[in-house]
Structure 1
Amino acid sequence: MESLKEKTAKGILWGGMNNFIQQALGLCFGIMMGRLLSPDDYGMIAMITIFPQIAITLQNSGFTVALTNIKQPGHREYNSVFWFNVIVGTAMYALLFFCAPLIADYYHTDKLVPLCRYAFLNILFASFATAQSAYLFKNLMVKQQAKAGMTAVLCSNIVGVSMAFSGMGYWSLATQGLVFVGVNTVLLWRCSPWRPSLRIDFGPVWRMFRFSVKVLATGILNNVNSNVLNILLGRYFSPYATGCYNQAYQWDNKCYYLVQGTVQQVTQPVLADLSGQSSRRLGAMRKMVRLISFVSFPLLFGLGLVAREFIVLAITDKWLFSAGLMQILCISGAVMPLHTFLSNVVLSCGRSGVNLWCTCGLGLASIVLMVCIWPLGIRSMVVGYTALNLLWVLVWHFFVRRLTGYGFVMFMRDTLPFAIAAMAVMAATYFATAWIGNMAVLLVARIAVAAVLYYAVMRVARVHILNECQQFIVNKLFKRKH
């Protein structure tokens, strides 16, 4: 039997590989799609993205988290969750099918009616995968999840680019989403040994519901928080403006999800297993926070540094307005993995209510702030959104400190040095390369100089997490050779 440490290390390794490959594929195909499609095409999809996200969150209903917190869930629990999700998913699709005209009226765009009814089919596809996904998540079968996710991303992107090349416009983006969910669902069934039965008993669902309903509400609010700008931009501005913002947000999201997705797949299962072992739990938390900070700050600040060059070279200057927005979003993107980690710590303590109210506060603050400042323009809205997300890290930490004893000074020691080092490195890189006139050379030079400088700073400072990462990679390579 593998130790918890070995399972965690393998989970992080496969989670990292999964996210790296998915984001690398997303980068390559995203460049192709950005060149082939217009900001208006992206805006059409961005305006309706929140609806399937909320529907899938509703059908999931927080049961993945609830099953993970059960020590040994059995067939009865998984079967109950499976059939509940299928029923709710079917009902949600039917509801949104008939609500499509209302959505189109809100955005003053009649073309959204058929697009909604087509794109929302992923709600049905996803409803068949929740129990299988929960089984793999609970048992730290990250390798299987990774293979399914990577294959689904590859297939969906190939289909999306092929349709975009054929002139299908925003329909290519909608189909891309459907293919991803469909392929991922099929592969999760293939990877999971668990299968449903026709003996349906909703008793376990009702027993988990008190906990999971709070996770459900939290998930819905997270979707609102992520899409609040898309919702308001689509109504008060235009599909073009919404598409430009969404392009910036997508690249920022791809970058920080490299870190967030890697750690998220192991955080809750590991910390749940360490419940009752306060010292080991605190040590594991601090190590994960240092790992997140070590990677996230240079990665996102670096993306902001090269945003203009990357956007123009990759998807042409028709997206230039997105570059300025992306530079601002990268500041909040650097702390988004910390948001997710701290919220998972709260959940691992069984405090879904705290998680709900903290997320609710962020959602309400986002909506009020955006409604108040939208007349000032898109850039002001993005600045406000970024500032609020930076502030909210401290709110999350306040609750984590009360639940685990992870003090403010410890948290600052685990995060602030990496943030300062990353900012200093990016500033030095900017001034050192400002004389370069060729945009392609400038992009390559800034990436190379920033990477070398950051590594040098970490070596000189004798950062322990760097040594641990290097040792882990060396051990893996050595084992493979022998």
Structure 2
Amino acid sequence: MTETVKTNTLFSIIWSILSKWGSKLIGMVSTFVLARLLAPADFGIIAMATIVVALLESMTQAGLNLYILRYKEHDTRVFNAAWTVGIIQAFVIAIPLVILAPFISDFYNQPVLTEVIYCLALVRVIQGLNNFGIIIAQKEMNFKVDFVLTIWTRLSYLTATIGFAWYLQSFWALVFGQLISSVFGCGLSYFLHPFRPKFSLYNWRDMLKYSKATVPLSIARYINNQADVAIVGRVASAQFLGFYHIAVNLAGLFTKELLMPVIRGLIPNLSVLRESANFKDILLVTFAAAVYVFLPVGIGLSMVAQEFVPVFLGDKWLAAIPLLQWFSLYAMIGGIMMFFSEQFLVMMEKEVVSNRLMWARNIILITTIVLTLSYGQVSDLPKMLFFSALVALPMVLVSISRELEITLKRILYSWWPALTGAFVMFVVLQLFPVLDWPLFIVLLAKVALGGVSYLATIVLLFVVRGRPENTLESLVFNKAFGYN
């Protein structure tokens, strides 16, 4: 890999991380403030509506962003066609939403959902009109444009939603916030990039061929991410769904969403990385990095949930504590599987394998949901989903090992320091004494102690092993401290 490619890759990852985590930081602030202004049932009603929107999204998701990113040529005609297909997709989603809105309201026994869904349909149409130049910028590894668009759009949502929530004290604040931010983001996308799209259906057959492989994956991903939420919305109250929805989102924010910026930054460079002589070593280090981050964050969040929820959400959200404890672990395993089996396989033109893995995981997931609701309670679902993910993980690892021609032993061997560090952190936090301190201080103490124990274990193992090369630790230490 040339120095230019390395530099472009590094900066694309940095801007992608800043974009994603800037957005998530704003989202966290929004969630924490809104959780104190609104009731759990308000979040539950919005969750019911977004479930349906996400379903139609998955059924029509052409995956053209990835198509453009891996398209080798810079062809304006293809960009115009992709933008056109995006608009068509927006209306294909919006029209059924408008038609089905009354029936969805009856299904969930929430009459107000009709008007909410009408508004969300309009939001989807506005988003479909966004300037495709933002994707072109990503293809050119210019993630700064995406960063500016993402941050300002999220800030507009934050400002509008909190303002409406303070004034209305209603779930409509969440709806109006989406409407305002979608209009603002659409206009800003044209201001930030000079590309001016035109209607075109050039090369549509090739796009359709690509979509045939990505739509099944998109549907499978929806089932994997939303099946439990959709069922909970039907069998439980809006208030419980609000607890459930917030717990799922917070767990995903600190786990699954954590490494998505890195994936987005790597995707435009993946074709170049594949030509490198040490590509497998790069993959091993990349996969290890995912595990090194997912394990302490997932286990750590689960261990501090008892303090985290009342400190940041308030006492009215205490019922979300056990949900967050298990969802953190579930999202941790799910994030590892997502990192390995979805984006990387698609970019390596192994969509069929990715589809099969996702559908196999869904069979395990649906079986778990059915058995849990048949013989247990809906509150048991997060715990059982975690165990279902543990069952699916070996299947994913074996498939990845075979497809990438990397032995499973090599993959697992690169993880053992992180596994050891996570175990030490778990023991340390488990033995943390009960103190009559303010909850915020206890939370800070646990986070600091857990982080130090995990990192200290990793460093100690690295030194004891003689600072082995071609590991994540050696890469970090060489860059940070100049070790050779």
TM-score, scaled to structure 2: 0.90
Query: Is 1:356 aligned to residue 355 of structure 2?
Result: yes
CA distance in 2, matches of 1:414, 1:436: 41
Residue in 1 aligned with 2:326? Answer: 328
CA 1:396/1:128 → structure 2, altered by over 3 Å: closer, same or farther?
farther
Alignment of 1:341-352 (within 5 A): 341-342=339-340, 343-352=342-351
Distance 1:274 1:444, change over 3 A: closer
1:424 aligns with 2:431: no
SS in 1 for 2:306: helix
Q: Given that residues 433 and 442 in structure 1 are in contact (C-alpha distance below 8 angstroms), is that contact kept between their aligned partners in structure 2?
A: no
Question: How many angstroms does 1:383 deviate by?
Answer: 1.6
2:313 alignment partner in structure 1: 315
Letter in 2 for 1:308: Q
Give the counterpart letter for 1:123 in structure 2. Answer: R
> CA 1:329–1:81 in 2, change beyond 3 Å: closer, same or farther?
same
Query: In the aligned structure 1, how far is the partner of 2:142 from the partner of 2:481?
Result: 23
Q: How much does 1:473 deviate?
A: 6.8
Q: Give the conservation status (yes or no) of the 8 Å contact 2:15–2:147.
A: yes
Segments of 5+ residues of structure 1 without an aligned counterpart are: 476-482
Are the counterparts in 2 of residues 55 and 123 from structure 1 also a CA contact under 8 Å?
Answer: no
1:466 offset after TM fit, Å?
Answer: 4.6
Number of the residue aligned with 1:339: 337
Q: Is 1:441 equivalent to 2:448 in the alignment?
A: no
Q: How does 1:197-236 map to 2 (within 5 A)?
A: 197-198=198-199, 200=200, 202-236=201-235
What amino acid does structure 1 have at the position aligned with 2:338?
Answer: T
Q: Report the alpha carbon displacement of residue 258 of structure 1 after superposing the two structures with TM.
A: 4.7
Q: How many angstroms apart in 2 are the aligned matches of 1:175 and 1:392?
A: 39
For 1:38-437, list aligned pairs within 5 A.
Answer: 38-58=39-59, 60-129=61-130, 131-198=132-199, 200=200, 202-277=201-276, 279-342=277-340, 343-375=342-374, 376-437=376-437
Letter in 1 for 2:303: L
Aligned residues of 2:421 and 2:455 also touching (Cα < 8 A)? no
User: Cα 1:159–1:385, aligned 2, differ >3 Å: closer, same or farther?
Assistant: same
Q: Which residue of 2 aligns with 1:13?
A: 14
> Distance between the aligned counterparts of 1:42 and 1:473, measured in 2?
43
8 Å CA contact 1:293–1:415 kept in 2: the answer is yes
Aligned-CA RMSD value = 2.4
1:232 Cα deviation from its structure 2 partner: 0.8
Q: Distance in 2 between matches of 1:456 and 1:246?
A: 35
- Shift in Å at residue 4 of structure 1? 2.1
1:18 positional shift: 2.3
Q: Is the 8 A contact 1:50 1:224 kept in 2?
A: no
- For the residue of structure 1 that corresponds to 2:198, the secondary structure is coil
TM-score normalised according to structure 1 size: 0.91
Asked if structure 2 preserves the Cα contact closer than 8 Å seen for 1:64 and 1:130, the reply is: no
CA distance 1:109–1:50, change in 2 (3 Å): same
The answer to whether the 8 Å contact 1:19/1:257 transfers is no
2:15–2:144 contact (8 Å) kept in structure 1: yes
**Alpha-carbon offset, residue 245 of structure 1:** 0.6
Cα separation, partners in 2 of 1:452 and 1:228, compared to 1, 3 Å: same
Which residue is equivalent to 2:472? 465
Is contact 2:424-2:453 (8 Å) kept? no
Alpha-carbon distance, 1:98 to partner: 1.1
CA distance in 1, matches of 2:3, 2:151: 25
More divergent stretch after superposition (438-447 vs 176-185): 176-185
Cα distance in 2 for residues equivalent to 1:180 and 1:340: 29
Confirm or deny: 8 A CA contact 2:244 2:323 kept in the other structure: yes
Q: CA deviation at 1:72?
A: 1.3
Deviates more, 1:318-327 or 1:336-345: 336-345
Residue identity opposite 2:312 in structure 1: A
Q: Deviations over 1:51-106 (max 9, x none)?
A: 22244445541111222222114111111111122123123211210110111121
1-side partners of 2:157 and 2:271: how far apart? 34
Rounded to whole Å, the distance in 2 between the matches of 1:374 and 1:248 is 19
SS of 1:166's equivalent in the other structure is helix
Which is further off, 187-196 or 94-103?
Answer: 187-196
- Distance in 2 (CA, whole Å) between partners of 1:272 and 1:55 is 31
Say if 1:221 and 1:359, in contact at 8 Å, map to a contact too: yes
Give, as a single letter, the amino acid of the residue that structure 1 aligns with 2:63: G
Change in CA separation of 1:451 and 1:56 when aligned onto 2, cut-off 3 Å = same
Counterpart amino acid of 1:365? I
Alignment check: 8 A CA contact 1:46 1:246 kept: yes
In the TM superposition, residue 341 of structure 1 has moved relative to its aligned partner by: 2.1
Opposite residue 364 of structure 2, the aligned amino acid is A
For 2:412 and 2:334, the matched residues in 1 are separated by 16
CA contact (8 A) 2:43 2:245 kept: yes
Please tell me the residue identity of whatever aligns with 1:314: F
Q: Report the CA distance shift for 1:188/1:344 in structure 2 as closer, same or farther (over 3 A).
A: same
1:125 to 1:224, Cα distance in 2 relative to 1, 3 A = farther
Aligned letter for 2:322? G
Q: Match for 2:472: what amino acid?
A: I
Aligned residue type for 1:195: R
329-338 or 107-116, larger mean C-alpha shift: 329-338
| Gap change, CA 1:174 and 1:473, over 3 Å in 2 | farther
State whether residues 260 and 336 of structure 1, in contact with CA within 8 Å, keep that contact through their aligned partners in structure 2.
no
Change (3 A) 1:136 1:339: farther
Alpha-carbon distance change, 466 to 184 in structure 1, aligned in 2, over 3 angstroms: farther
Give the direction of change, closer, same or farther, for the CA distance of 1:169–1:62 in structure 2 (3 Å limit).
same
| Paired residues of 1:66 and 1:211 also in contact (CA < 8 A) | yes
CA distance in 1, matches of 2:180, 2:481: 37
Deviation at 1:32, TM superposition (A): 0.7
Quote the residue 1:479 is aligned against.
Answer: none
Matched positions, count: 472
* Gap change, CA 1:126 and 1:111, over 3 Å in 2: same
Q: What SS class does the counterpart of residue 296 from structure 2 fall into?
A: helix
Q: Deviations over 1:374-432 (max 9, x none)?
A: 14112321122222223333333333222211221122123343133123213213313
Distance 2:481 2:72 in 1: 34
Q: CA deviation at 1:436?
A: 4.8
